[in-house]
Amino acid sequence: MRGFGDSLGCGSIFIDERWRIEVDSDGGAKVTIVTTFKNLSGEEQSLNEPHEIQFREEEKPDYFQCDGLTISNNSIPLNLAIQPFNDESITIDLRYTSLAKKEASWWDISLNPRHGAIYPLNLTMECYLPMEAEDIMFRNTKSEDFLIDNHHKTAVNTFNGPPYFFKLAYRLRRPEQLEEQNSIPSSKTELTFTNEDIESVRNSMPLLNFFKKQLSRDNEDKPFLGKTFLIALHFLKDLIIFLESFEKLGLEPDKTYLFWKPYLYPHKDGIASYLKNEKGYNNIYPLDNLESVLATQQNSMDNILVLEDGGYIVPSLHNGFENTLEKTIGAVEQTTKGLRRDKEIEHITVPILNVAEAEIKTRIEPPFVADAAIHNIENLLPETLRGKKIALMGLGAIGSEILERLKSRGTDITPYDPGAIRRIEAQTKKGLITEREAYLAVRDKFLVIGCSGETSIDRSEILSLKHKTYLVSTSSDQVEINIPVLEALSKPEIQPLKDHDNNIIGKSYVIRESDNEVQLLAEGYPVNFWCSDSMPNQVSDIILSVIFLSAFELIVNKNDYPDGINSVDEIVKKYEIAELYEEHYHG
């Protein structure tokens, strides 16, 4: 351990410093600096309050002082003015400049933590970029990797010893570029759905139609009228019928904001075109633009109801959009991953109805998700699964169903789960050999399937893969496989992965240390949505009905649901969803 007590004349050790740099799309920057040190007694201490400074690109002053921080010529001399450092000052240079604002629109953040002879043992840099940022790049004077998450627009690294200098650069899409990207093909260029197509989908969802007719008949006051809806659900054909049900109860398309995920949905453009041109839904955006939309449209939003898949909107409202949060009635979340994100919120101030863990969903949905996942994997792979060595990461509801389908295909399965009880069940009930460590499970495998709902394939697992191993996920978004780590471990020349017909089916990475190729199917997104609807409508019918009724309950019986996570099992019983489902589908 390195100490600086002698140079300061105070016997203190400067341990850690953490920088949090938050940048917005208008050139604003906020820097938070937290310093930790050890005193003479060996106790760790930190400043009572983090030092913060914020400024806007167009308002950089020549001189500005706030809470012990001084900005002079775009630098921040920081005088800690605390006992261990006496009157010593620590100077940190921050230069936040915009570069060519032409077509490329490149911006950079350049930092030079300069403490004279004083350096912390560890310096953590956390950069939070605007959602419009793309092509994020990192340069520094050391060879350490900087973990970049392009999806969440973050970049984090911890340096040991002096970092000298680093620059984080990114391209910022300007408003006109965003408008271009968000635009939906017009009816002149995009084939939309016919009335016969819509009627066919509608007829395949009798349960949702039943509740739509029942509630619209019994609620002539239209409880959804005047409400703002923020919806992040899958852009599949059943979304059209789902929105129709809300419209019957007063939902207004011009007060509704729809966000689509970057999955390769089979009919996304056609669905978006139909909703825009035929139904008047003009607020349709990629999910990456969520925070930009909230920032620009929040004044026009009131009486907000959130319906989502993945836990994006509710955490965003709690982190930076408190004024909008105050106008929010509640939310409905339908995925385990989203529920996990919601539970990470320190203090939830709205009711969240938990469809993700509803008994009717967890019992009925998993077999159909597993069918879709295996079907798509077999379509994407050039070889049969029979006889192949496969690692299955996660033995929850969906993982267990995938396990059964892999067994029926004669594969050589190595199951893994972080929970010992699930591993023991696979051994005793299925007669399989499991591994206690994830990196051992993936060794020497033809295919690794992640279905844990968390990151199951990380640095150790990636480095344990043999040449030409296929990776695939069945979980939401790109959470299952740590893609930023995969990119950091790989050579920069990432190639498209193609099938025998020259169709792109993913990406190919080459690990620097071993030259092993890693073949990522569906770009790490859930394979069950790869060019397919994932589940038959008879399954989405029941899930969307639960979401519909949960939203209705939040409006008409809000006092029954306190702030925080609420079960929907009583709603399922109240409306006899299971009984009606059985009646409609099984006579």
Element (H, E) at 64: strand 63-66
Q: How confident is residue 444, by pLDDT bands cut at 50, 70 and 90? A: very high
Counting residues of the chain whose pLDDT is more than 90, the rounded percentage is: 54
Residues 6+ apart with CB under 8 A from 568: 353, 354, 355, 358, 546, 550
Q: How confident is residue 427, by pLDDT bands cut at 50, 70 and 90? A: very high
What pLDDT, on the 0 to 100 scale, is given for residue 115? 43
pLDDT tens by residue, 272-322: 989 999 999 999 999 989 999 999 998 999 999 999 999 999 999 999 899
Contact 372/535 with Cβ under 8 angstroms?
A: yes
CA dist., res. 16 & res. 580, Å (int): 60
Total residue count of the chain as it appears in this document: 587
Contact 145/488 with Cβ under 8 angstroms?
A: yes
Q: Which of 10-14, 158-162, 335-339 has the lowest mean pLDDT?
A: 10-14
What is the average pLDDT score of the chain? Answer: 78
CA dist., res. 579 & res. 505, Å (int): 41
More confident residue, 332 or 116: 332
pTM: 0.68
DSSP 531-580: TS-SS-HHHHHHHHHHHHHHHHHHHHSGGGS-SEEEE-HHHHHHTTHHHH
In order of start, what are the domains of the chain with their CATH numbers? 5-173 (no CATH), 362-529 (3.40.50.720)
CA dist., res. 323 & res. 327, Å (int): 7
Contact 1/106 with Cβ under 8 angstroms?
A: no
CA dist., res. 24 & res. 56, Å (int): 9
3-state secondary structure of 71: strand
pLDDT tens by residue, 380-411: 998 899 999 999 999 999 999 999 999 999 99
Token pair for 248: 């019957």
Residues 6+ apart with CB under 8 A from 356: 333, 334, 335, 336, 338, 339
pLDDT tens by residue, 20-69: 666 655 555 565 656 555 544 555 544 434 444 444 434 433 323 333 33
Counting residues of the chain whose pLDDT is more than 70, the rounded percentage is: 67
